Amino acid sequence: MKELRQKQIVKRRLYSTPVLIILLIITGLIIHSTYKIVQKYRESAGYVNDLKQKADDLANREIQLKGDIARLGTDEGIDTEIKEKFNVSKEGEKVAIIVGEADNSSNTATSTEHWWKSLWSSIMGN
């Protein structure tokens, strides 16, 4: 009988309001900490994706630059680059300048009158 009373006292103390409040607070702190960890994980995953994208962009840029370097390693590539940058030509070469059609768009002056004024004028017959 004494053992049963001892167990009831322990249960009563264990399930008392202050103990349950303390357990609730501890559970809340654990949940809050877990949430912060998940947020940091997601933020880090975003940074990793950004860095992977930058690495891919840099790898593509490296391939492009190696191609440009290989092209500039030839005489033809050097001549083309000089012609593009400095607008020059070799001796004996002729340059043709092609001019496109002139822009014949007419500038029609639109009325500066507000839409509601023009509507009112058409209603009133002015």
To 10 degrees, what angle do helices 75-86 and 17-72 make? 100
Least confident of 33-37, 62-66, 108-112: 108-112
- Residue 113, classed as helix, strand or coil, is coil
Report the residue count for the chain: 126
Domain encompassing residue 29 = 2-89
CA 50 distance to own-chain centroid: 9
Please tell me the distance from the alpha carbon of residue 6 to that of residue 12, in angstroms, as a whole number. 10
Q: Has residue 65 been placed in a domain?
A: yes
pTM over 0.75: no
Please tell me the distance from the alpha carbon of residue 71 to that of residue 81, in angstroms, as a whole number. 10
Please tell me the distance from the alpha carbon of residue 120 to that of residue 114, in angstroms, as a whole number. 10
62-106: pLDDT as tens digits? 999 999 999 999 999 998 888 888 888 888 877 777 888 876 655
Q: Has residue 103 been placed in a domain?
A: no
Q: Has residue 55 been placed in a domain?
A: yes
**Total domains, the chain:** 1
Q: Has residue 75 been placed in a domain?
A: yes
What pLDDT does residue 92 have?
81
Q: Has residue 97 been placed in a domain?
A: no
Of the chain, the end-to-end C-alpha distance in Å amounts to 109
What lies within 8 Å, CB to CB, of 95 at 6+ separation is: 89
Please tell me the distance from the alpha carbon of residue 82 to that of residue 88, in angstroms, as a whole number. 7
